[in-house]
């Protein structure tokens, strides 16, 4: 069936490669003669009927979109409540689909978005409007169930591994008379996948980072200080990667301040200075710390080629799933082998993914809790393989796309969330 109308939206925290997924999805659909609308700011744009027609993007725009970080259509943190509590929003979704003749909705996001996509996929039957819904995976947190890894994670992993390698060469140079301890804070609320990626920089015994602080391992000041001291005595310096989700033995976040976002998640930041204070107080070493925050998840300039390839593959596969009539599913990555690294796209049911969280296996963390194991390295290494530099302009900056997106005229009365 050709000439279909698809609606695509981006959800949750964006990644360096979510636009690569969008570009691949649009290009694949376009090649089949399908129309692709996109919602501004995720599901909110559907509810409020802020839609754009991606036909305005030229083929050159799609090429540029494929190497542009952020979420070009805007994303949102907004979780639909259950149908019973919130029939109004579900009815509105159907109205918008019906008004714009949308027959398949693609929701590109993580756990919470998979939950939204699952709910939407159940609407057709309940509300008597034939709508397919397909989740498309994306999250730097790498915590989606079923899929071997998540598009977005590989690039963040590469950024973290490269950054701690580079900063460690710096502190190594300075340690005789100045900074002896460097601490890099990385994202990862509940799982240490991103922090673990820092361990890829440690290719030989004694290599930096000498210490990784995982959210899975309660922070023990005394053991940490002993490890820092040992590294400084052996190597002259100590390089530390710490996850924003680091907790103490009581389960409290080590980061000084915590507030909550719209999903009820803690919004963290500032565990690096907290850990630096421990170093200062207990050991007296001169330290430096960095918090990479959004830089790590927008650094398209140092994206993993493997990640870009997979981000594009899930976008293409989503269209294929739509064409073959699937709903309530998500294209996922299945690993065939570690070395040589081989993978393929498989199909997973959304109810196996929505609201599940893939934890990092304990066997990926060394016995002392400060490093990754060989099993973790086998898993992680292929995900940062290859470079995918964006083109740079004469002004020395990457040529990222910032298209003018004109919204379609609304066909329905205004609706406020």
Enzyme catalytic residues: 141
256 Cβ contact list (under 8 Å, min separation 6): 270, 273, 274
Q: Is 262 left (phi over 0), alpha (psi -120 to 50) or beta?
A: alpha
User: How are beta strands 238-243 and 51-53 bridged, if at all?
Assistant: unpaired
Binding of a copy of itself by 406 (CB under 8 A): no
Binding of a copy of itself by 369 (CB under 8 A): no
Residue among 6, 153, 182, 224 that touches a copy of itself (CB under 8 A): 182
How many Å separate Cα 200 from the centre of its chain? 19
**Total residues in contact with a copy of itself, by rule CB under 8 A:** 77
Residue among 55, 169, 375, 408 that touches a copy of itself (CB under 8 A): 169
Pair 175, 237: CB distance under 8 Å: yes
d(CA 29, CA 320): 9
Binding of a copy of itself by 394 (CB under 8 A): yes
Residue whose CB is less far from a copy of itself, 129 or 415: 415
Distance of closest approach, residue 290 Cβ to a copy of itself, in angstroms = 4
Q: Six-digit token pair at 371?
A: 């490093």
Distance of closest approach, residue 350 Cβ to a copy of itself, in angstroms = 22
Site for a copy of itself in 9-28 (CB under 8 A): 10, 13-14, 16
Distance of closest approach, residue 296 Cβ to a copy of itself, in angstroms = 9
> Per CB under 8 A, which region of 74-82, 142-150, 224-232, 322-330 contacts a copy of itself?
74-82
Binding of a copy of itself by 200 (CB under 8 A): yes
Binding of a copy of itself by 387 (CB under 8 A): yes
Binding of a copy of itself by 400 (CB under 8 A): yes
Pair 100, 52: CB distance under 8 Å: no
DSSP-based three-state secondary structure for 54: helix
Distance of closest approach, residue 401 Cβ to a copy of itself, in angstroms = 9
Distance of closest approach, residue 75 Cβ to a copy of itself, in angstroms = 5
Residue whose CB is less far from a copy of itself, 166 or 344: 166
CA dihedral 260→263→266→270, nearest 10 degrees, is -90
d(CA 377, CA 373): 6
DSSP-based three-state secondary structure for 212: strand
């Amino acid at each position: 069936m050709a000439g279909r109308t698809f609606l695509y939206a981006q959800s949750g925290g964006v990644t360096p490669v979510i636009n690569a997924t969008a570009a691949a999805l649009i290009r694949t659909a376009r090649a089949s003669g399908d129309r692709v609308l996109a919602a501004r700011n995720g599901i909110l744009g559907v509810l409020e009927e802020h839609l754009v027609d991606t036909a305005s993007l030229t083929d050159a725009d799609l090429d540029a979109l494929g190497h542009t970080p952020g979420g070009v259509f805007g994303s949102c943190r907004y979780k639909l409540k259950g149908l019973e509590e919130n029939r109004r929003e579900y009815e509105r979704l159907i109205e918008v689909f019906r008004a714009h003749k949308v027959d398949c909705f693609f929701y590109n996001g993580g756990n919470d978005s998979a939950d939204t996509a699952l709910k939407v996929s159940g609407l057709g039957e309940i509300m008597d409007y034939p709508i397919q819904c397909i989740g498309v995976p994306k999250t730097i947190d790498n915590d989606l169930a079923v899929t071997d890894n998540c598009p977005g994670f590989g690039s963040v992993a590469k950024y973290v591994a490269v950054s701690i390698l580079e900063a460690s060469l710096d502190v190594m140079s300075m340690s005789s008379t100045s900074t002896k301890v460097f601490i890099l804070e990385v994202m990862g609320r509940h799982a240490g996948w991103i922090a673990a990626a820092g361990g890829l920089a440690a290719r030989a015994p004694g290599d930096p980072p000498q210490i990784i602080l995982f959210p899975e391992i309660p922070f023990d000041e005394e053991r940490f200080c002993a490890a820092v001291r040992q590294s400084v005595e052996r190597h002259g310096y100590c390089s530390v990667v710490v996850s924003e989700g680091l907790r103490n033995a009581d389960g409290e976040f080590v980061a000084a301040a915590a507030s909550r976002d719209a999903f009820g998640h803690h919004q963290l930041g500032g565990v690096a200075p907290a850990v630096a204070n421990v170093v200062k107080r207990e050991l007296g070493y001169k330290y430096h710390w960095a918090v990479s925050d959004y830089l790590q998840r927008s650094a398209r300039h140092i994206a993993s080629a493997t990640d870009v390839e997979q981000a594009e593959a899930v976008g293409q596969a989503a269209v294929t799933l739509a064409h073959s009539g699937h709903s309530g599913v998500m294209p996922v990555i299945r690993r065939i082998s570690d070395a040589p690294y081989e993978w393929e796209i498989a199909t997973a049911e959304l109810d196996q993914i929505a609201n599940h969280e893939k934890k990092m296996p304990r066997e990926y963390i060394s016995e002392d809790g400060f490093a990754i194991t060989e099993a973790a390295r086998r898993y992680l290494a292929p995900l940062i393989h290859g470079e995918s530099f964006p083109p740079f302009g004469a002004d020395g900056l990457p040529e990222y796309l910032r298209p003018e997106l004109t919204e379609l005229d609304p066909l329905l009365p205004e609706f406020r969330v």
